[in-house]
């Protein structure tokens, strides 16, 4: 395969709300470039991007797909990313590898919640971005409204470069404001178009919009601004040059348009990507640290710099093994090269190098700076790891994956599968770090967490397909805690005589609460040797064991101070065991007299919904014992912040989607522990008593 130099490579990521047409756009690009001679369909399950059985069956993208094509001597690497929030980990990893994001907006519905989710990640990575208004061939398409929703949400940097002449079911033409030409596309899905002058009926509008765009391009560049003020316009070359600069520095978000399904506007988009999107050698130096230090270092995006690459995705393929996708940030890589994984401190030998189009692999011998490729069977390299030159190593900044929004417990359908389940889930986490698994010794459950119920269902299906084990979901237990609100004081004497040596331990104890998070404090106030010092540690051990087992409902006790202030002993019958038992029993007795309570974990949740669903969502939060902390507007969306008990959040992502017709998303993180209401505490205690019988 042809070797591409860095300045001839373009890396773009396709992102949007779910169902807006990313996969069809990718298909149209590959078809236009001659990669495939058949225009695949999502309904038929024949697209290059959505090739695994889960995607074909559900007709949605689940994993990021890696594609490439040649367009007018440029190599365009394309990452088609899922639009559903359940797969936001794919969005995080895919956008990390590209230089520009193409954000699709539905011409019928405008900006949606998933558009905002994608935009936030694009913004976090400080990526240049293009908006592509798609589906202009639909009956209720409204280009102006779609652009207006984008401006309301993302600001005045949203700038129109193209607009449709005849949107709706007869759509086939767009006007390009840079070249002041109309492109009329064939309706045979070939993507070909003819170029003509702007028609008279839209010429005045086009000239007005072009003047505004040109001023926008010039105003952030002194040289261009001088030319614009003196001449009144820019040449096409100056226009494109200024446009490229403003796109790269984030001052301008160009709006292009089309309809991916009939392949209208796609070739114009590809031309624009070649002409105006920054190439990898125009990117800033990539940041990292010197391995085993905190010393920050960088690498320039140049072929003669030491090799560095980030593995941004790992996939286990049948009959192939583990396939690692990487983006080269500096240097070049050849088959057979030895390099270092500084995350693991191990060397890796690069075997066969591939470039991908969905599941189709094409072997290459070399990849240059800025390119995206794949390699099979690395020993111990996973998603987020760096590969670099051994003689000049760098550890690139890792990918920050989104925090989970759902947690469930898994139980095996067949006995004895626990070890296979744990091994399989751990391997699946290495592929997809946005999914997490934890064997919780306190709750005695295997807890899995992820980005939504669908995400976890896909993980469980892969567990069955790849590792041959089946599991069922059950509600995870809640890690409650026990503590006290008041002070208590008491005595317990452990005395036992049954022939031979007896047992004797007598302790007087005082308990008082500590502030949240202070843990446990043991104070020895014994004076005069009423309890010999050698037995004091046994008393503390007894208390700690009782705290671990809980008193009210079997949950660990936290945040209190225990003071041992008096007692007695027997010269023959006292022992460590006797005082440990006395300490444990005295603690339990005094604990019950010190206003004991149960604490539950409270989570901060942030919910983003269209305004029309606010009432339903807020009412639901209240029904879950939640407390609204505040609300903010973000464009046409409302952001609700609340604190909600973890016990009330089981499968909340599913409930939220149901309430908002799939348009609501939420994030959560642990906040603190708080007292459980008495009626809820009584149920927890009763349930614990029932389970212990």
Q: Residue 8 has what DSSP assignment?
A: G
Least confident of 22-36, 251-265, 270-284, 409-423: 409-423
CB distance 396 to 298 below 8 Å: no
Cα–Cα distances in Å, from 375 out to 87, 97, 321?
23, 16, 10
* pLDDT for residue 208: 94
Beta partners for residue 364, in sequence order: 353
Q: Residue 579 has what DSSP assignment?
A: H
* pLDDT for residue 467: 86
Among 342, 287, 332, 339, which Cα is nearest to 305's?
332
Helix axis angle for 88-96 and 113-124, nearest 10°, is 40
* pLDDT for residue 420: 86
Give the strands of the sheet with 65-71, arranged side by side: 65-71, 74-80, 9-15, 100-106, 129-134, 253-257, 158-160
Among 69, 115, 102, 640, which Cα is nearest to 362's?
69
Strands 253-257 and 158-160: parallel
Which tokens in the block code for residue 52? 């695994």
Q: What is the mean pLDDT of residues 170-196?
A: 96
Q: What is the mean pLDDT of residues 240-254?
A: 92
Beta partners for residue 642, in sequence order: 605, 628
Least confident of 372-376, 384-388, 439-443, 679-683: 439-443
Residue 197, classified by CB atoms within 10 Å of its CB into exposed (0-12), middle (13-18) or buried (19+), is exposed
* pLDDT for residue 691: 82
Strands 627-634 and 173-176: unpaired
* pLDDT for residue 319: 67
Go through the domains of the chain in sequence order and give each one's CATH number.
Answer: 6-197+251-282 (3.40.50.300), 286-396 (2.40.30.10), 406-474 (3.30.70.870), 482-594 (3.30.230.10), 601-689 (3.30.70.240)
Q: What is the mean pLDDT of residues 547-576?
A: 95
Phi, psi (degrees; rounded to nearest 5) at 231: -95, -30
Report residue 318's pLDDT band, with 50, 70 and 90 as the boundaries: low
Read off the pTM. 0.86
Cα–Cα distances in Å, from 46 out to 50, 51, 59, 94?
8, 7, 10, 22
Gyration radius from the chain CA atoms: 32
Q: Name the one residue in this structure whose structure tokens are 């460590």.
A: 576
Among 562, 570, 563, which Cα is nearest to 505's?
570
Beta partners for residue 449, in sequence order: 407, 436
Distance of CA 283 to the CA centre of its chain: 24
Collapsed DSSP state (helix, strand, coil) of residue 333? strand
500-533 confidence digits (pLDDT tens): 678 999 999 999 999 999 999 999 999 999 999 9
Residue 617: pLDDT above 70?
yes
365-407 confidence digits (pLDDT tens): 999 999 999 999 898 899 999 999 999 999 999 999 998 999 9
* pLDDT for residue 634: 79
Q: Tell me how crowded residue 508 is: count the other CB atoms within 10 A of its CB.
A: 21
Q: CA 147, CA 160: separation in Å to the nearest integer?
A: 8
Which tokens in the block code for residue 419? 């070890």
CB distance 175 to 206 below 8 Å: yes
> Measured on CA atoms in the order 604, 610, 615, 619, is the torsion positive or negative?
negative
Beta partners for residue 401, in sequence order: none
Q: Residue 165 has what DSSP assignment?
A: S
C-alpha angle with apex 317: 313 to 322, nearest 5 degrees? 55
Residue 466: pLDDT above 90?
no
Residue 50, classified by CB atoms within 10 Å of its CB into exposed (0-12), middle (13-18) or buried (19+), is buried
* Maximum pairwise Cα distance, the chain: 114
pLDDT, averaged across the chain: 93
CB distance 553 to 684 below 8 Å: yes
- For the chain, the residue count is 693
């Amino acid at each position: 395969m042809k070797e591409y130099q860095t300045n001839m490579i373009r890396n773009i990521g396709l992102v949007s709300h779910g169902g807006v047409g990313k996969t069809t756009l990718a298909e149209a690009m590959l078809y236009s470039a001659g990669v495939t001679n058949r225009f695949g369909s999502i309904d038929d399950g024949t697209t290059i991007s959505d090739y695994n059985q889960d995607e074909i069956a559900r007709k949605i993208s689940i994993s990021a797909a890696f594609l490439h094509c040649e367009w007018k001597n440029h190599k365009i690497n394309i990452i088609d990313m899922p639009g559903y929030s359940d797969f936001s980990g794919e969005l995080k990893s895919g956008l990390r590898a590209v230089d520009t994001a193409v954000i699709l907006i539905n011409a019928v519905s405008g900006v949606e919640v998933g558009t905002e989710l994608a935009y936030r990640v694009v913004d976090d990575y400080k990526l240049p971005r293009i908006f592509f208004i798609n589906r202009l061939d639909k009956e209720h398409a409204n280009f102006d409204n779609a652009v207006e929703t984008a401006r309301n949400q993302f600001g005045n940097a949203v700038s129109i470069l193209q607009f449709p002449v005849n949107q709706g079911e007869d759509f086939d033409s767009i006007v390009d404001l840079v070249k002041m030409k109309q492109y009329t596309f064939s309706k045979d899905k070939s993507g070909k178009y003819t170029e003509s002058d702007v028609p008279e009926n839209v010429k005045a509008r086009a000239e007005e919009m072009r003047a505004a765009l040109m001023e926008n391009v010039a105003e952030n560049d002194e040289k261009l601004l001088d030319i614009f003020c003196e001449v009144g316009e820019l040449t096409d070359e100056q226009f494109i040059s200024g446009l490229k600069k403003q796109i790269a520095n984030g001052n301008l978000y160009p709006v292009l348009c089309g309809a991916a399904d009939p392949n209208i506007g796609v070739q114009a988009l590809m031309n624009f990507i070649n002409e105006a999107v920054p190439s990898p050698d125009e990117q800033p130096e990539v940041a990292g640290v010197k391995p085993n230090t905190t010393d920050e270092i960088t690498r320039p995006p140049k072929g003669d710099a030491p090799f560095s690459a980030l593995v941004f995705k790992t996939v286990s393929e049948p009959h192939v093994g583990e396939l690692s996708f990487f983006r080269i940030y500096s240097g070049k890589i050849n088959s057979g090269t030895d390099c270092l994984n500084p995350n693991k401190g191990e060397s890796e030998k690069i075997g066969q190098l591939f470039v991908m189009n969905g599941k189709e692999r094409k072997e290459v011998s070399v990849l240059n700076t800025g390119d995206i490729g794949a390699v099979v069977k690395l020993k111990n390299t996973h998603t987020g790891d760096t590969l670099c030159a051994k003689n000049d190593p760098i550890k690139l900044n890792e990918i920050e994956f989104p925090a989970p929004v759902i947690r469930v417990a898994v139980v095996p359908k067949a006995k004895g599968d626990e070890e296979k389940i744990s091994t399989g889930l751990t391997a699946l986490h290495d592929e997809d770090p946005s999914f997490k698994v934890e064997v919780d010794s306190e709750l005695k459950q295997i807890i899995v967490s992820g980005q939504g119920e669908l995400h976890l269902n896909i993980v469980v299906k892969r567990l069955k397909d790849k590792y041959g084990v089946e599991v069922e979901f059950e509600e995870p237990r809640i890690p409650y805690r026990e503590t006290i609100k008041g002070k208590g004081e008491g005595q317990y004497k452990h005395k036992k005589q049954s022939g031979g040596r007896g047992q004797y331990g007598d302790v007087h104890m005082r308990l008082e609460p500590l502030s949240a998070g202070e843990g446990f404090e043991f104070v020895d106030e014994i004076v005069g040797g009423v309890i010999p010092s050698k037995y004091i540690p046994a008393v503390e051990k007894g208390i700690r064991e009782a705290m671990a087992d809980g008193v009210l409902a079997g949950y660990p006790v936290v945040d209190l101070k225990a003071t041992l202030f008096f007692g007695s002993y027997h010269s023959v019958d006292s022992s460590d065991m006797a005082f440990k038992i006395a300490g444990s029993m005295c603690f339990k007795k005094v604990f019950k007299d010190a206003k004991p309570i149960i604490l539950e974990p409270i989570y901060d949740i942030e919910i983003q919904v269209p305004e029309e669903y606010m009432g339903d969502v807020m009412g639901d939060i209240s029904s879950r014992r939640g407390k609204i902390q505040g609300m903010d507007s973000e464009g046409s969306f409302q952001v609700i912040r609340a604190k909600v008990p973890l016990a009330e959040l089981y499968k909340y992502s599913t409930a939220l989607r149901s309430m908002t017709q799939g348009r609501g998303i939420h994030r959560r993180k642990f906040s603190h522990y708080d007292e459980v209401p008495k009626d809820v505490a009584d149920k927890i205690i009763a349930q614990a008593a029932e389970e212990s019988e």
